[in-house]
A and B are shown apart, each in its own frame.
Chain A
């Protein structure tokens, strides 16, 4: 794959899932989306991108506790983790592009 090394593949897959969630909502996430997030967390952990992995794991934990009297707070916490993750994913793409630009121009 000339265009999509593993980092970009993960970044693009996550962007796609997160964009879809804006329309569909965390409440309606399916098992496939959750698996994508778990795989992304494992990938980020392997690459030492702990900040991204932490947000995914904290999101999964907040979502799991999203029931009963605390549901509103948990839903908000879960949403914040995904929004933070999204901004980090956008930054990763920019950092990767800069690194590649320097390699290509040297």
Chain B
């Protein structure tokens, strides 16, 4: 009886979702017709409702797109300088496509989101490969740690753990502050920068393009007595591995430009020019050669990219090949190979994290005040 009741509730939720998504489709088409300039700020309520219903039905990808549309709409109505027409158009289009697929039954409910692999690991010993920071002023700041297992085994997708802090309106907190923020499991994320880390009772969840480690009340995270060094063998993260993955890549209109994304280690590389690209809004490029291949380091021109920009300009001025290993995230956009540089590995030395700024703010004290 309980099973039948749950099924009935699921069906009702799906029916409600389809009604809400029909309204989303209509709204997107109307926006295209008459423009956002003549729309009422109340349309954000509709996208919020659709986001809540999509989340209830475990349509996480659609839900995340609806949320992103809403964030962009709010920026527009608040005259926020961060508003981007291009971003809004992209996410409106994705919502329109996904909503139509669901309404027309081209994708059945519950969709792919419900079938992600997930398992609890008794313990896993990991070491950092790189760290990414992300700031959306007044919304959140986050750190994403790119990891690898210390036992040499590798997953078929990148392994990562991330932490996020929702920030109040107008409060611009740097993601570096999260390094000093004690987590519910009584550890500070800065532990990942200092040594290998043993994680116990942690859930491994398959995400879009990665394996994500999730902590719960029972989880433990402790430092291990093991130095953080580059892997002995970087073959798993080589351009040859990327080549075979690209052959299997089947592009879809729902791909984001950064998908698919690959972790790579480069050696014997040099930078010879700084450029910009009209279609890559808010990015600075540096032309790079490695093993006879031409690529571009891609750096955010805003606050998140300050340290990377400094590093790239220093290396550009040097004008000779670097022997250190460079770890970064590679993707293809506009027909070129772009790499977000994350870590510089000198032989036998701890890593240099290229996104983390070397400021002297006492973040522990700052966060205590915020609490």
Contacts and interface: CB of A to CB of B under 8 A. Distances in A.
Interface of A: 3-5, 8, 12, 15-16, 18-28, 75-76, 78-80, 82-83, 86-88, 90-91, 93-102, 104-106
A8 B334 contact: yes
Given A27-B33, A98-B246, A86 B332 contact: no
Interface in B289-318: 293-294
Interface string B328-344: 00001111110000000
B30 A100 contact: no
A105 B335 contact: no
A88 B31 CA distance: 19
13 contacts: A15-B279, A19-B89, A25-B31, A76-B29, A83-B28, A87-B93, A91-B253, A97-B251, A97-B336, A100-B332, A102-B243, A104-B293, A105-B239
B35 A28 contact: yes
Interface of B: 28-38, 76, 85-86, 88-90, 92-93, 96-97, 239, 242-243, 246-247, 249, 251-253, 255, 257, 277-279, 293-294, 332-337
A94 B28 contact: no
Q: Looking at chain B's contact residues, is the secondary structure mostly helix, strand, loop, or mixed?
A: helix
Nearest to B34: A25
A97 B88 contact: no
A97 B332 contact: yes
Contacts, number: 133
A75 B31 CA distance: 11
Given A97-B332, A105-B239, A79 B29 contact: yes
Given A24-B35, A76-B29, 7 more contacts: A3-B277, A3-B278, A19-B88, A21-B35, A25-B35, A25-B36, A75-B33
A36 to B, nearest CB: 15
Contacts of A86: 89, 93
